[in-house]
Amino acid sequence: MSSDEGVDLVQRDSDMAWELFEVQPTHPEIAKIAHRVLAQDPRRSGMRILLAMHSKASGEPDAAREILLDVIGRRDRQFVNAARQLRDLEQDEHHHAEARRWAEIVLREDQEYWLDWMEFGAIAALAGDFEFGWKTLDDAVEHCARSEADDLPSALVRRAIFLLQSYAPPERFIPAAEEAMRADPSDEFVGVPLTWAYLHQGRFDDAEELCLRMLRLNPTEALPEIALTMIRTMRTTIDENGLSMDQVHDAGILKQYWNQQRDEQLGIDLASALDALEQVMPADLRAALRPPADDETAQNSPGDQQIAAWHDGQRPGTGSAWGLMATSG
């Protein structure tokens, strides 16, 4: 008797492709297995969706989009799943209007899943429709509590993260983040921004206690330790200078910390922007810029220290080289 007797070889290949994607989404064997499955059973649109996800993970969004549109055009039972994937792809590519269109299509097909409403609210807020988007996030949490209560901790964390990503002010972010932390006290991605949001509001004791609580749960985490060290150093410095924490808060210093920490968390701070600029800079413009300044020169720079440490100015008479950025790409 053959060892394969009674085994659905197509299903076995399908399962193997998905399992390989879970552990290594860019592995080239995924595409080979998926195409083998489709050659034997072209009706398996789930394999096409897997191919799209593999293409996206491999840095080929256009190929992923083409595959997903093909699945959507078939209008089979994978239609909604393909629309979800296309929604997420367009959002990852910062095509907010297109992502919102696909989010609405998903909800016209299926209004039962709380996560679809959460994604829709996040997309709306990230596209600039803040109040509507934030209200939709709240509604998604309520929907989750009614329909899938076991998922509520995840919904609360997602709402807090989406509020942070869409630049919600501390007075809106803090209550959502506090609720998320009660549901999942170990979530550092919510806890660390919440620490800085507390500082923004002058709630220094709350910020220190939150850092201590996170460190008790995970003593090896660096970010809460950094925040706690800064808080305690600040308290010592302020006491030595005869000031109060309220005076520091009123001066707006801690609001700057909140903005700085949020920008770093989202990857939109100056260092991230300079790194992104370096990746797309035309060769002629790069040649016009001077090398980075050393630490001492950067610290004494009359301009921004981070910019001096990136490139210490540029050669005289080369200002027009920046026009290359507008005409390239």
pLDDT digits (tens, 9 = 90+) for 230-287: 888 878 877 887 777 777 767 766 667 666 766 765 566 777 777 777 787 787 777 7
Confidence (pLDDT) at 6: 45
Residue 31 to residues 48, 73, 246, 259, Cα–Cα distance (Å): 10, 21, 60, 43
Alpha helix segments (H runs only) across the chain = 9-23, 29-40, 45-57, 61-74, 79-92, 96-109, 114-126, 130-147, 152-165, 170-183, 188-200, 204-217, 222-240, 245-250, 253-266, 270-280, 283-288, 295-299, 305-310, 323-327
Confidence (pLDDT) at 129: 92
Q: What is the mean pLDDT of each run of 10 residues along the chain (329 residues)?
A: 60 96 97 96 96 97 98 96 97 92 97 97 92 97 96 95 88 94 87 86 88 90 86 82 74 67 65 77 78 73 72 72 59
Nearest to 246 by CA among 199, 213, 177, 188: 199
What amino acid is encoded at 254 in this protein? L
Partner residues linked to 289 by β-bridges: 314
213 CB-contact burial (10 Å; exposed 0-12 / middle 13-18 / buried 19+): middle
pTM of full prediction above 0.75: no
Q: Which residues contact 22 (CB under 8 A, 6 or more apart)?
A: none
Confidence (pLDDT) at 148: 96
Structural tokens at position 126: 């990230």
